[in-house]
Amino acid sequence: MKVLGVASHRMQEIEAREWVTWDRKLAIGWQWTPTAEFRANRPWVPVSVGFKTLDEAEQAIDHFLDNDETLAHNHRVTQEATAAWCERYGAH
């Protein structure tokens, strides 16, 4: 994988990358890899996400930053539901 360039949006680094796909075709896209510090209090943020355009990457970053409370709530609800299911049916 080759880094072609770097952009910044809301203090987040986004890299333009070039790689070869499984069928040996050249592909280019943008990748956002949030830092460990950013994810420390936001476990719902993906470790790495790829996008076709820089605009898509910026929209995703905006989504995660602007909807922090909603995403945190959804994460807690999911964790609670998972714990309740495991308590009732057992962890498999």
The per-residue pLDDT for range 3-44, each reduced to its tens digit, is 999 999 998 999 999 999 999 999 999 999 988 888 888 887
pLDDT at 68: 77
- The strand pair at 12-20 and 2-9 is best described as antiparallel
> How many helices (H) does the chain have, and how many strands (E)?
3, 4
Work out whether the CA dihedral 3, 60, 39, 48 comes out positive or negative: negative
The per-residue pLDDT for range 68-85, each reduced to its tens digit, is 777 777 777 888 888 888
Q: Which residue has the tokens 């075709």?
A: 25
Please state the pTM of the whole predicted model: 0.70
Residue 51 pLDDT level (bands cut at 50, 70, 90):
very high
pLDDT at 30: 96
